[in-house]
Structure 1
Amino acid sequence: MTFFGKVREVVWGKPAPTKQERKLVFKLDCIIMPFICLMYWVNYLDRSNLTNAYVSGLKEDLKMYGTELNQINSVFYVGYTVSQIPNNLILQKISPQVYLTISMVCWSFLTLGLSFVTNWHQIMAIRFCLGLFESATFVGSHYIMGSWYNPHEIGKRTAVFAASGVAGNMFSGFLQGAIHKNLDGLDGRAGWRWLFIIDFLITIPIASLGYFVFPGHPEMTKSTFLTPEEKTLAIERLPEPLIKRGTLGWSLIRRVVLSWEIYALSLLALLAGDTEMWADNGILNLYLKYLGTYSVELINYIPTAVYAIALVSILLCSWYADYFQKAGGRWHVGVFLSVTAIISGAIMLNPPSHSAKMFALFINGLQLGYRGVLFSWGNDLMRKDDAKRGIVIGMMNAMTIAFYIFWTLLFYNTEQAPMWREGSIAMIVTGVCMIFSVGSVVFFERRQVKNAVLVLEGENSTVDSDQEVAVVPNKMDKNSNIV
């Protein structure tokens, strides 16, 4: 294999074995990945814009003090959490092409509504509704990727998808800085109000793209970009699930409740999410505003470096985990990011200097690297039960967000600036717990593989035994004939 061929394998996976399959995968990359990445990008753009607006004049204009910002974020996560599993159940009955498009249109108009608010209570109500509609994006996209891509392809695509969300965070900072510089006061509107209007104008075209291009689920797709033969190949080339999508009822509840995945993977997702708190709560933005020595533009621009680090971390961690999958690449990454969480928390707990504190806040961007790895891991572990896969993936994200509701108020609220001592301790403890959580998933995965091997060996043994029983009488008949 050439050097460039090796690089291609690491970055995007091995090429499919046949020309027909390679053509199919290329088409999937052209019609699935652009939409879900743009959808997730604008999802994070519309989600993170509140912090950027807050440090760009919204706080003063609406007279927000104390923990109002944290309360608004908590209410957003309430809406996001309660709609996780319902959205994933709906996606198993309604075409994702239709449902995701409707969700995008709804949240885009809610984002537009933020430009007209006159008090922070109105923001809270709108953000709750935003959470309801935005929650379909993450788990829905992972569910769809797991339905079209095989285990050798999904890790790389998941990495690109996760990176697109981080890119939305980055772009929001640049966008707000530019808007404040060039549009603040235009038509009598503050710059932060223009941010929500422009976000709305960006979201609508992407929603339209999804309706006309996105193929939905392979078994119900009506995509004109795929031939009938390619639609059949898309289903046949993946491992056949024993229990397919749409199979709902008490049987599904029992399979989920009695499975180890719902508990071990949800706990790991929860802990991994809590190690991202410095980055996800815009602590660097708040810290720079607290210092009072930076312009509004710099307060928005400087934290984009955190998301640049996060973007690189997502890609490198996913490539490593996927390439060294058989050697344990996924748990290697989990342990590494547990350690970096402990380091960033320890520095923040007792920073020797301003530079050290900035370093701790910057390296927390590394923690976002586990998003792609963890959810591709979950997709692979549950390929045999398509319905359960959708529920567990939804629960993993729901558990992560559920803790955000109160975690940010307890440990990362605006009144704890500039030290966030409680948050530093929480970061250290979470990092330690995450190491043990990664170990538990590895233990259950290996036990599952071992049990599957034993079952297979038992079936082979039964087949061999039956063959012997069938052969012996024939020999006896033959011998009796000779006699």
Structure 2
Amino acid sequence: MGSKIREYFRVEYQPGERKLVQKIDFFILTFCCLSYFTNYLDRSNLNNAYVSGMREDLNFVGNQLNVINTCFTVGYIIGQIPANLSLHYIKPRYFFPACMVIWAGLTMITASVSKAQSIMVIRFFQGIAEATTFVGTHYILGSWYTERELGKRSGIFTASGLAGTMIGGYIQTGIYHSMNGKHGLAGWRWLFIIDGVITLPVAIYGFIFFPDTPQTTQAFYLTDEERRLAVLRVPPVEDRSPLSLSFFKRSLSSWFFWGFVVLWIIAGETESFSTNALLALYMKSHPTNGYEVSQLNNYPTGVPAVGIISTIFWATLTDFLNGKRYLVGYFIGIVGVATSAMILAASNDPTNPQSTVIVFAAYYWAGAVYACQATFFAWANDALRYEEHMFRAVVLAGMNLGSNSINAWWSIVFYGASMAPWFKRGMWAMIAASIALAIWTAALSYSTAKLETRRKAELATSQQEKGEADNEYA
């Protein structure tokens, strides 16, 4: 085991490759992580604002918060595949920053609203602008990094979004205490303004420094030799225009497409406890306890904190285990069933202080399911490494599209704000989704392993035939 660990950390690089990886680590990961950080900062601020006075100021009723999230999700769904296909025609160095400027502007506009319906419209267009951030970045990471390098980078990227969610709560607390009422604006309005302003410098940084893809990069900090090496590091595949009927037919008839899309549809729902801010809603509607605004914003930050640790741990571990990303599916299945059962048990004695401890423990532990984001998208990138680039882009976008198509109504049906504090229907849905995830993971891992075995056999045969032909010629 010790020798295997040393081998893992002592990677053998070609001449000049280590320096290349260090450069792309710095310029790609800094922009992508900062972009995703601000993306989640701008996205999670709605839940922070909701428990910090927005609900009362705008007279929210029923499940309007969930409807707003659904409007965002619908826009997000619409933008997924068009956004990733756009990367074939528009340089990512221009496309990503342009989308950031748009969503930053929409975030700041939210500070001026006077009714919940206005936020619904804004969030719809914000969803379209944010559609490429997650799946587009995973496409870029898969274009630059080898299979051995990909998991850790995907984990760091995903963790940056969770950091945005976590820090957003502390930012809202600070703004509420220091700026509430300043220039006649409530603290929750200042949150949208400040979050939007924070995003703009990151967009400028990306416009200047982002290196596009290995085949198209003109980054001034890469030498000609480093650009050639970047192309040689990943398998050569044909990259045809994706805007054709035959391309979409091939894509939609591929088991790769449906295998990974269904995987992420199920896995995406195992994140529902966190993405729907259930802990904050539980606290807001607690049967006996009252919580201050600072507590409503700060206590839930433990959920993404656990998510960050779990994400980096599993991303690194699956790299170390030679890409066994499927293990995360079984882990999440166990966590989803256990945490749901804990909350259902606590709901039987809601006024008992011990039940509050159990619920907090369950929601914090449930943050560990965030590990599936990095590992499952890295798994898709690994499996599609020998497929054409735009097909890989479509599968990655399709995964998020499929998941969010379900999220658009799933949160209303199972986790509506009016169902707080116990969300019993949602707990049973989580148990079902967790069991389904474990089953689908097993089936998909069997299929991908079988394909990899056949691919290696074909490669060995090809090399043998080539060797025999060379000997004949000699």
Indicate whether 1:371 and 2:368 are aligned. no
In 1: Cα distance, 2:470 partner to 2:206 partner: 55
In 2: Cα distance, 1:350 partner to 1:102 partner: 48
Whether the 8 Å contact between 1:279 and 1:306 is mirrored in structure 2 is: yes
TM-score by length of 2: 0.93
In 2: Cα distance, 1:229 partner to 1:461 partner: 31
Whether the 8 Å contact between 1:92 and 1:245 is mirrored in structure 2 is: no
Shift of 1:246: 4.0
Indicate whether 1:141 and 2:143 are aligned. no
In 2: Cα distance, 1:141 partner to 1:372 partner: 11
In 1: Cα distance, 2:397 partner to 2:182 partner: 42
Greater Cα shift, 398-407 or 246-255: 246-255
Deviations 1:283-324 (A, max 9, x none): 111111112511101100000011110100000111111111
Shift of 1:6: 4.5
1:77: which partner in 2?
Answer: 73
- The residue matched to 2:386 in structure 1 has which SS? coil
Aligned pair count reads: 464
1:265: which partner in 2?
Answer: 260
Shift of 1:453: 3.9
Shift of 1:89: 0.4
In 1: Cα distance, 2:317 partner to 2:449 partner: 20
Which of 382, 385, 392 matches 1:389? 392
Runs of 4+ in 1 over 3 A off after TM superposition: 13-16, 245-248, 453-468
Which of 191, 196, 201 matches 1:205? 201
- The residue matched to 1:330 in structure 2 has which SS? coil
In 1: Cα distance, 2:466 partner to 2:209 partner: 48
**Residue pairs, 1:148-167, within 5 angstroms:** 148-167=144-163
In 2: Cα distance, 1:25 partner to 1:420 partner: 46
Give the fraction of aligned pairs with identical amino acids, expressed as a percent: 36
Shift of 1:461: 7.2
Taking structure 1 as reference, are residues 427 and 180 closer, same or farther at Cα in structure 2, changes over 3 Å only?
Answer: same
In 1: Cα distance, 2:10 partner to 2:75 partner: 40
Indicate whether 1:345 and 2:345 are aligned. no
Shift of 1:426: 0.3
**Uncovered stretches (5+) of structure 1, i.e. residues with no partner:** 472-483
In 2: Cα distance, 1:339 partner to 1:436 partner: 12
Shift of 1:443: 1.4
Whether the 8 Å contact between 1:14 and 1:152 is mirrored in structure 2 is: no
In 2: Cα distance, 1:356 partner to 1:294 partner: 17
Greater Cα shift, 384-393 or 55-64: 384-393
**Letter of the 2:199 counterpart:** T
Indicate whether 1:254 and 2:254 are aligned. no
In 1: Cα distance, 2:446 partner to 2:64 partner: 42
1:481: which partner in 2?
Answer: none
Taking structure 1 as reference, are residues 463 and 210 closer, same or farther at Cα in structure 2, changes over 3 Å only?
Answer: closer
2:321: which partner in 1?
Answer: 324
In 2: Cα distance, 1:180 partner to 1:453 partner: 58
**Uncovered stretches (5+) of structure 2, i.e. residues with no partner:** 350-354
Shift of 1:245: 5.9
In 2: Cα distance, 1:459 partner to 1:27 partner: 35
Taking structure 1 as reference, are residues 463 and 238 closer, same or farther at Cα in structure 2, changes over 3 Å only?
Answer: closer
Which of 44, 50, 53 matches 1:54? 50
- The residue matched to 2:212 in structure 1 has which SS? coil
Shift of 1:223: 0.9
Taking structure 1 as reference, are residues 257 and 166 closer, same or farther at Cα in structure 2, changes over 3 Å only?
Answer: same
Whether the 8 Å contact between 2:326 and 2:376 is mirrored in structure 1 is: no
Whether the 8 Å contact between 1:378 and 1:393 is mirrored in structure 2 is: yes
In 1: Cα distance, 2:470 partner to 2:112 partner: 77
Shift of 1:349: 1.9
Whether the 8 Å contact between 2:170 and 2:297 is mirrored in structure 1 is: yes
In 1: Cα distance, 2:96 partner to 2:404 partner: 20
Shift of 1:16: 4.5
Shift of 1:458: 5.4
Taking structure 1 as reference, are residues 82 and 331 closer, same or farther at Cα in structure 2, changes over 3 Å only?
Answer: same
Whether the 8 Å contact between 1:260 and 1:444 is mirrored in structure 2 is: no
- The residue matched to 1:350 in structure 2 has which SS? helix
1:476: which partner in 2?
Answer: none
Which of 309, 312, 331 matches 2:309? 312
TM-score by length of 1: 0.92
In 1: Cα distance, 2:272 partner to 2:403 partner: 11
1:112: which partner in 2?
Answer: 108
Which of 292, 298, 322 matches 1:301? 298
Whether the 8 Å contact between 2:35 and 2:203 is mirrored in structure 1 is: yes
In 2: Cα distance, 1:296 partner to 1:364 partner: 23
Whether the 8 Å contact between 2:85 and 2:242 is mirrored in structure 1 is: no
CA RMSD of aligned residues (A): 2.2
2:352: which partner in 1?
Answer: none
Bigger-Rg structure (1/2): 1
Shift of 1:459: 4.5
